[in-house]
Amino acid sequence: MTWRFCLMIEPAASDAVLSDFADTFTVVDPAAPALSVGELSTQRGDGIFESIGVIDGHAQEVTAHLERLVHSARLCDLPEPNVAQWRQAVARAAAQCGRGESVIKLILSRGVEHGPTPTAWVTAATAPDNTRVRVEGVRVVTLDRGFDSAAPERAPWLLMGAKTLSYAVNMAAIREAKRRDADDAVFVSSDGIVLEGPTSSVILRHGDRFTTPAPGAGILHGTTQLSVFAFLGQQGLRAEYEAVLAPNLVMADAAWLVSSVRLAVPIVSVDGAGIPLDADLTARLNAYLLSPRD
């Protein structure tokens, strides 16, 4: 990944109305140190983030990402982000991206311990080349997420549904998948309900019907899943939220992991059992996801 740009942001109050937030932005060298050692993002993973796909300089689905940033901030008791300010920061970063695929990250941390304000910044970098995996797909293993499907309601302090900086568990799950000779993982609740990938949402096809686990199940509401459902709706196909039992995953006629930068990646096997790869629909999904979307 090549870093292209980094913008530090002085977070404005959520209700501050300014036509230009330029005075609250400072461009810094993305290769130089920029954070205090007391930063709670690095000390405790205490903060939230978004990763936005950028195609030929166009940041995709910015509104959906900003809505989720605001939702995550609420769940984490962080000050509400000023959406207009973040939108301008995204536009500044997108202007640095050039042709091809890039990724813009938005980060809002609780700041320095005992410090006065949160720390906020935006980065832009080239995206990894996902062309091959979008065609060939991934082998996944199902991994127990360690909580049952009632946990999100019973224990809201687990912050399920917030996109927090605490991704060590998600990264560990991907390493475990690789140890089991797979490429990626699908988390399953301890009572056997399909949740999400460590960095993606899961979409299944049974016949002409598409399903994905509902966000209330303790998972992130994926912006890419929302886009895919909009696309399927335009095609006259049925796409619904539904509790998916783990055995139904391997019985799917096709399934995908979807996310903002890797886009739609077909699942070709689950725990070693093959499932069909719908090459035509996968290509159409990715053509749609690579087209400019607001």
The residues of the shown chain that bind ligand PLP, judged by CB under 6 A, are: 51, 170, 196, 198-201, 220, 222-225, 258-260
Q: In the complex with ligand PLP, which residue's Cβ is closer, 28 or 243?
A: 243
φ, ψ of residue 129 to 5 degrees: the values are: -80, 110
Distance from C-alpha of 198 to C-alpha of 168, rounded to nearest angstrom: 10
SS3 category, 125: strand
Tell me the closest approach of the beta carbon of residue 37 to ligand PLP, in angstroms: 27
Partner residues linked to 270 by β-bridges: 140, 273
Distance from C-alpha of 221 to C-alpha of 32, rounded to nearest angstrom: 33
SS3 category, 18: coil
Distance from C-alpha of 64 to C-alpha of 227, rounded to nearest angstrom: 10
Q: What is the DSSP letter of 215?
A: G
Q: In the complex with ligand PLP, which residue's Cβ is closer, 12 or 173?
A: 173
Q: In the complex with ligand PLP, which residue's Cβ is closer, 12 or 255?
A: 255
C-alpha dihedral (280, 286, 290, 294), degrees to nearest 10: 110
Q: In the complex with ligand PLP, which residue's Cβ is closer, 12 or 107?
A: 107
Q: Which of 81, 53, 79 is nearest to 68 (CA)?
A: 81
Tell me the closest approach of the beta carbon of residue 246 to ligand PLP, in angstroms: 17
Are the C-beta atoms of residues 68 and 221 closer than 8 Å to each other? yes
Tell me the closest approach of the beta carbon of residue 52 to ligand PLP, in angstroms: 8
Tell me the closest approach of the beta carbon of residue 211 to ligand PLP, in angstroms: 16
Q: List alpha helices for 17-130, DSSP H.
A: 40-44, 62-75, 83-94
Q: Which of 36, 6, 24, 161 is nearest to 109 (CA)?
A: 36
Q: In the complex with ligand PLP, which residue's Cβ is closer, 183 or 196?
A: 196
Distance from C-alpha of 280 to C-alpha of 84, rounded to nearest angstrom: 39
Tell me the closest approach of the beta carbon of residue 67 to ligand PLP, in angstroms: 11
Q: In the complex with ligand PLP, which residue's Cβ is closer, 152 or 198?
A: 198
Tell me the closest approach of the beta carbon of residue 202 to ligand PLP, in angstroms: 9
Q: In the complex with ligand PLP, which residue's Cβ is closer, 135 or 226?
A: 226
Tell me the closest approach of the beta carbon of residue 66 to ligand PLP, in angstroms: 12
